[in-house]
Amino acid sequence: MVTRPFNFNPGPSTLPLVALERAQKELLDFEGSGMSILEHSHRGKQYEKVHDQAIALIAELLAVPATHQILFMQGGASAQFGLVPMNLRTDSHAGDYVITDTWGQKAYKEAKTVGKPQVAWDQNKDGVWTRVPKQAELKLSPDAPYLHYTTNNTIMGTQCFDVPNAGSVPVIADMSSDIMWRPTDVSKFGMIYAGAQKNMGPSGITVVIIRKDLIEKGRTDLPSIFRYAEIAKNNSLQNTITTFSVYLVRNVLEWVKEQGGLPEMERRNTKKAALLYGAIDGSNGFYTCPAETASRSVMNVVYRLPSEELDGKFVAEANKAGLLGLKGHRQVGGIRASIYNAMSLEGVEKLIEFMTKFQKSS
């Protein structure tokens, strides 16, 4: 049995041990077939069952309504930055963009390469955002084909807890770093997309949940492999899918379900974040968060020490103590503890213990 460190990486990130152990157990002989799931055809019955199970688990956990379809795509969330406007823009408008982090900014920049997006809100000051906007601050255009925003800002450590109201304009959310952190009313969204590598599994697969009328309305002036309509028609099997990534998503989501589903994830995540922010706020200013309190993320806790030198020392000593992946993104520096669904309460408690000791010895 290997000793697992506590892995606070932002993605790929820690996975539930049982999901990995199941993969290990099944790797050489998938369900008595004598072959690995890695060797099965993406069109064979063994893989098909896994594919359908993964989709059914997403549908069940998020209570996806019949108005929406679940797709698996490749190219990461970054590919969706381009595919959303490629499929859904009009000739005069490529969406309103709420920019709350580098990722939302990238999405906006990609939309600009194919059409004419507009900025609905952007607090950017020298590459730093410290909060998310209030509804009243959004500059919305009534003729926008969609409103795009990022639910959780992985780099800045902020999170939007309310879905923006854009009237009849469909809301599209990049949920890469907080999908399934709690129950979500999917009916409020025209489309949701998320790379799997934080809360759902390994890298290599992106989950798209899209309203069927938007699929039908999608543009046709782009190659078929990039069209939502084509992928939907083929149940995401229009070409060779990353079968092993989907297989692992299936394993991870079964774990989520067994643990009690998204209400239980919310209970755990809220507790972990409250403990960690509590330790930061109780440190007499030794640890501080750049994010405004009301916008603090439950998934990526970003904070810093009194100097860059201490930040570096903290990360180095934490590594030695088996607490990995805590270095903040180069854009904000400091520390980032990514505490996704699979990070245990024990991991967060160990981190807090380490923080207290480190402060005392500094």
One character per residue 78-117, x = contact with ligand PMP (rule: CB under 6 A): x------------------------x--------------
Residue 311 makes contact with ligand PMP by CB under 6 A: no
Separation between Cα atoms, residue 207 and residue 175, nearest integer Å: 10
Separation between Cα atoms, residue 201 and residue 222, nearest integer Å: 30
Catalytic entry in 101, 178, 198, 311? 198
DSSP secondary structure, 90-102, as one string:
-SS---EEEE-SH
Catalytic entry in 96, 101, 103, 129? 103
Q: Which residue in 177, 242, 338, 341 binds ligand PMP (CB under 6 A)?
A: 177
Considering only residues 241-300, where is the footprint of ligand PMP by CB under 6 A?
none
Contact assessment for residue 216 and residue 229, using Cβ atoms and an 8 Å cutoff: yes
Nearest-approach distance from CB 43 to ligand PMP, in angstroms: 26
Which tokens belong to 245? 């990534």
Nearest-approach distance from CB 58 to ligand PMP, in angstroms: 17
Residue 174 makes contact with ligand PMP by CB under 6 A: yes
Cβ closest to ligand PMP, residue 14 vs residue 46: 14
Helix (H) or strand (E) holding 149: strand 147-150
Q: How many CB atoms sit inside 10 A of residue 135's CB?
A: 11
Separation between Cα atoms, residue 70 and residue 181, nearest integer Å: 18
Q: Which stretch binds ligand PMP (CB under 6 A): 36-44, 171-179, 228-236, 240-248?
A: 171-179
Contact assessment for residue 355 and residue 326, using Cβ atoms and an 8 Å cutoff: no
Q: Which residue in 7, 13, 154, 245 binds ligand PMP (CB under 6 A)?
A: 154
Which tokens belong to 260? 């009690």
In the complex, which residues of this chain contact ligand PMP (CB under 6 A)?
11, 76-78, 103, 150, 154, 174, 176-177, 195
